[in-house]
Amino acid sequence: KKAKLKIENAYEKRLIGRGNGGDIFALKQFGWKDKQETKIEAGDSLAAAVEQAWLSRRNER
C-alpha cells in the first residue's frame, strides 16, 4: 500500500508540473475523477460545504 501511495504521489506531482493524458489516465486508475461533486443543501454554510468536500476527497484516497 505504501508503494502504491508513492506511485500515486509521483503521478500527482507530474500532473501539476506538466500534466499529460498518460498522467491523467494513471490517476484515474487510482480512483481519481475529472470533476468534483459537492452537494449544498439549504441551511448549509459555504465554509461547511467546502470543508465537507475536502474531507470526502481526502477519504477517497
- Neighbouring residues of 52: CB distance < 8 A, sequence distance ≥ 6: 38
Percent of the chain with pLDDT over 70: 89
pLDDT value at position 58?
Answer: 72
Percent of the chain with pLDDT over 90: 5
Report the range out of 9-13, 45-49, 53-57 with the highest average pLDDT: 9-13
CB atoms under 10 Å from CB of 11, counted, come to 19
Banded pLDDT at 61 (limits 50, 70, 90) = low
Section 29-33 average pLDDT: 86
